[in-house]
Amino acid sequence: MTEPTSESVLRELQPIFANVLDEPELVVDRSANAWTTPNWDSLAHIALVQAAELQFRVKFTLNELQAFKTVGDLVDLIIQKSSKL
């Protein structure tokens, strides 16, 4: 299995964000966060995390979830978790 890269993870997260946030034209980058992204509220945050866990077959701890503030944080966390599989 190929190790995930920042670009590949971000590419796979793109449709998740568009779908969960109900913004079909949404394009997120590593700096995107709840303050700069339409419809990203606390409930959407939970849905995004759940969808990412399913997509990448990882599980996040509460501490990890509290530390994640940007899409880049999520990407890095997914890469970190995936490399331990």
Mean pLDDT by runs of 10 across the 85 residues of the chain is 87 97 96 95 93 96 89 95 78
Q: How much is the pTM?
A: 0.90
What is the residue-wise DSSP string for 16-75?
Answer: HHHHHTT-TT----TT-BTTTSTT--HHHHHHHHHHHHHHHT----HHHHHH--BHHHHH
pLDDT value, residue 57: 95
pLDDT value, residue 76: 95
pLDDT value, residue 65: 85
Q: Domains along the chain?
A: 6-83 (1.10.1200.10)
